Amino acid sequence: MVHLLEQDFGTFKNETVKKYTWQTKSGFKVSVISYGANIQSILVPDKVGELNDVVLGFDDLSGYVERNEPYLGATVGRCANRIRGANFQIDGAEYQLAKNVSDHDHLHGGLVGFDKVNWNSVVDGSKVTFSYLSKDGEEGYPGDLLTNVIYDVTDDDVIHVQFIATSTKKTVINLTNHSYFNLAGHDAGAEEIYNHVISINADKITETTPQSIPTGGFVNVGGTPFDLRIPVRLGDAMKQGQNLFDDNFCINTYGNKVS
């Protein structure tokens, strides 16, 4: 059986920030805060039962409000990734977005994206639904957009995250969670990342400019450091090039299932 604990985590703009912690029989423990609908920590038992936090986060609210430029653990929206020129067109209408990177591009939802607001939260059994209403014109996007992020932890030590968004107008929407993992745990240090063995079932990555702007094209991974279809030590893969890996891998799919 999964135990869910609700606590106060601080105050943001006169609103209480909530912290929800799930714990399973094995000791597996996940904490999510309502500010940014943010995964704060994931404690996983190792082979001898010792718990290690495998995801980066802050111990207090001020860390998220004042220092979270890397978007640690945050729900990112309305649009994760970059939009060149901070504008797009829908049905002939042009929309100018907030510019928050390189003085002319748009990144991760703008100056005040979904990571910088306190979401409403509702508990239903072991599920917690975080909700945020982004008003028409917020950061330049069209339409009132209601977004729900549903977190649940099951007794088999699995985190389930579901994103649901509904808009009153055609708009751009690309949601994600922005957690950074060190599967060896915090105490192992950053160098242990290089010893991770990684495999990604993807034949392509999205092509980007030197400024990390997607071009709309694709690059085959064969013969490149991005070919992770066979398990490889991450440090060995990174030695093959520079500035790796800040890229979108296009996961191969079969029917309705992701392999």
- pLDDT tens track of the chain, all 259 residues? 899 999 999 999 999 999 999 999 999 999 999 999 999 999 999 888 889 999 999 999 999 999 999 999 999 999 999 999 999 999 999 999 999 988 889 999 999 999 999 999 999 999 999 999 999 999 999 999 999 999 999 999 999 999 999 999 999 999 999 999 999 998 888 889 999 999 999 999 999 888 888 888 999 999 988 999 999 999 988 887 665 688 899 999 766 654 4
Buried b / exposed e over 35-52, threshold 16 CB at 10 Å, is bbbbbbbbbbeeeeeeeb
Q: What is 3-79+108-177's CATH number?
A: 2.70.98.10
pLDDT of res. 258: 46
Q: What is the DSSP letter of 49?
A: S
Q: Is 106 in contact with 100 (CB distance < 8 Å)?
A: yes
C-alpha span between 74 and 113 (Å, rounded): 10
Q: Distance of CA 86 to CAs 18, 77, 140, 191, Å?
A: 33, 14, 9, 36
What is the rounded distance in angstroms from the CA atom of residue 134 to the CA atom of residue 77?
10
| Identity of the amino acid at 79 | C
Are 107 and 82 in contact by the 8 Å Cβ rule? The answer is yes
User: Residue written as tokens 């991770």?
Assistant: 196
The domain limits of the chain are 3-79+108-177, 196-258
In the prediction, which pLDDT does 181 show? 94
Q: Which residues contact 144 (CB under 8 A, 6 or more apart)?
A: 133, 134, 135, 136, 167, 168, 169
What integer pLDDT is reported at residue 259 of this predicted model?
41
The C-alpha angle 113, 175, 163, rounded to 5 degrees, equals 120
Query: What CA–CA distance (Å, rounded) separates 23 from 45?
Result: 11
Judge whether 22 and 44 are in contact, CB under 8 Å: no
CA 99 to chain centre: 20
Question: From CA 259, how far away is CA 252, in angstroms rounded?
Answer: 7
Q: What is the pLDDT of residue 256?
A: 62
Confidence at residue 186, expressed as pLDDT on a 0 to 100 scale: 86
